[in-house]
A = this chain, B = another copy of it.
Amino acid sequence: MKFTIQRDYFIAQLNDTLKAISPRTTLPVLTGIKLDVFDNRLVLTGSDSEVSIEITIHSELNHEEILTVEDKGSIVLPGRFFVDIIKKLPADTVTIETNDQFQAKITSGQSEFNVSGIDSDQYPLLPQVSEEEAITLPVKVLKNIIKQTNFAVSTSETRPVLTGVNWLIRDNILNCTATDSHRLALRKLKLEDTNIDEINVIIPGKALSELNKIIGDNEDTIDIFFAANQVLFKFGHINFISRLLEGNYPDTSRLFPEISETALSINNGDFFHAIDRASLLAREGGNNVIKLSATDNAVELSSTSPEIGTVKEDVKTSKFDGTGIKISFNSKYMMDALRAIDVDDVRVEFFGTMRPFILKPDEDDNLIQLILPIRTY
């Protein structure tokens, strides 16, 4: 194989491909990037066997020549090391040529590298995802869904299904649920023009956060294809494939209480920063617990650590219904939830000191953050 490519564009695509590659892999060939050169295109593949990224580079981009192919062929080159070389080469273009011993000659300006590669036949085949059961989402919406739910997945492997986000499509509504059993995030989205009867899958949290990093701002929409144990996200010239988690996701629908005892509206930023400050002391004290006491027109936050000191914060509420309440919570869960809500006015509803409480955007039921309190009062 032999081709010449614009170095800057190549670097950007290689960086995206690297995102699927883990230095800790059981299969050594997966530390490499596979290059497949066809008549008028180059396909880059990176994979850690959980997530695979496949990027197609065509000869031309916006009527500008990016890639010139002289000879077709394939090779696997050592991932990070190869990308480091390409990044540091002196000229605007780079030429890569392989021989029968899987050696790649990389030339650019007065610089010449000869790098040992691996036969691409040793690279595992990527799963084929049928393109039947599909939905299309605006990129902005997908990024929002990931931001609003993904932080709440469990980081512990005790219950593997909880390390993923449950995507349930039923009655033309997409329900995305994540929980680590201390807090839960639920985002609902009405789907237009879908012929899907029912989809119920668990997408690994890690895959979604990698996906979030790789989706550029250039794309308008993303196509999502569901198969038995894979999901394919297709946008621009990139295919992003993730394995699905096996197992049954718990039914969380009955967790949501009906009628609140106390409900208030509060400024997101003021509330967030007050918790952030109180958590400095809560963290230093080692337990992250903040006490909240809500009365008619203000919320008082406090935390105490006998050896270190105390903190007290007051935040005004804009609406208040029901009775006063005292409740304690983990500051990290509260800050994560407020960050995910990301609108100026937040609605907080309490159902008693010992029961989970919920946060959502004021006047919007499509996003709900639920948090279990901590018993201290």
Name A residues whose Cβ lies closer than 8 Å to a Cβ of B.
78, 81, 84-85, 88-90, 103, 110-116, 273-274, 276-277, 280-281, 284, 307-315
- Select one of B90, B112, B113, B308 contacting A116, CB under 8 A: B308
Copies of this chain present: 2
CA distance A23 to B292 in the complex (A): 32
B309 engages A89 (CB within 8 Å): no
18 A/B residue pairs, CB under 8 Å, sorted by A: A78-B308, A81-B280, A81-B284, A81-B308, A84-B280, A85-B277, A85-B280, A88-B277, A89-B277, A90-B273, A90-B274, A111-B311, A111-B312, A112-B313, A113-B277, A113-B311, A115-B309, A116-B309
Determine the chain B residues whose CB is within 8 A of the CB of A314 once the complex forms: 110
A sample of 16 more A-B contacts (CB under 8 A), given A115-B308, A116-B308, is A81-B284, A81-B308, A85-B277, A85-B280, A88-B273, A88-B276, A88-B277, A90-B274, A90-B277, A110-B314, A111-B274, A111-B312, A112-B311, A113-B311, A114-B310, A114-B311
- Select one of B85, B309, B313 contacting A110, CB under 8 A: B313
CB distance from A192 to the nearest CB of B (A): 43
- Listed from nearest, the 10 A-B pairs whose CB atoms lie closest are A115-B309, A110-B314, A114-B310, A114-B309, A112-B312, A88-B277, A113-B311, A116-B309, A111-B313, A84-B280
B116 engages A307 (CB within 8 Å): yes
Determine the chain B residues whose CB is within 8 A of the CB of A85 once the complex forms: 277, 280
Determine the chain B residues whose CB is within 8 A of the CB of A112 once the complex forms: 311-313
Determine the chain B residues whose CB is within 8 A of the CB of A78 once the complex forms: 308
| Residue among A88, A113, A314 having the largest count of chain B Cβ atoms under 10 Å | A113
* Closest residue on chain B to residue A313 by CB atoms: B111
A103 engages B277 (CB within 8 Å): no
B88 engages A309 (CB within 8 Å): no
A315 engages B114 (CB within 8 Å): no
* Closest residue on chain B to residue A302 by CB atoms: B112
CA distance A85 to B313 in the complex (A): 13
CA distance A110 to B85 in the complex (A): 54
B90 engages A315 (CB within 8 Å): no
* Closest residue on chain B to residue A312 by CB atoms: B112
Determine the chain B residues whose CB is within 8 A of the CB of A113 once the complex forms: 277, 281, 309-311
B103 engages A315 (CB within 8 Å): no
Determine the chain B residues whose CB is within 8 A of the CB of A114 once the complex forms: 309-311
CB distance from A23 to the nearest CB of B (A): 13
B277 engages A309 (CB within 8 Å): no
* Closest residue on chain B to residue A306 by CB atoms: B116
CB distance from A135 to the nearest CB of B (A): 42
| Residue among A103, A274, A307 having the largest count of chain B Cβ atoms under 10 Å | A274
* Closest residue on chain B to residue A311 by CB atoms: B113
CB distance from A271 to the nearest CB of B (A): 12
Determine the chain B residues whose CB is within 8 A of the CB of A90 once the complex forms: 273-274, 277
* Closest residue on chain B to residue A270 by CB atoms: B90
CA distance A50 to B284 in the complex (A): 27
| Residue among A84, A89, A110, A313 having the largest count of chain B Cβ atoms under 10 Å | A110
CB distance from A100 to the nearest CB of B (A): 16
CA distance A311 to B307 in the complex (A): 60
CA distance A110 to B278 in the complex (A): 12
CA distance A284 to B83 in the complex (A): 13
B313 engages A280 (CB within 8 Å): no
Determine the chain B residues whose CB is within 8 A of the CB of A276 once the complex forms: 88
Determine the chain B residues whose CB is within 8 A of the CB of A89 once the complex forms: 277
Determine the chain B residues whose CB is within 8 A of the CB of A115 once the complex forms: 308-309
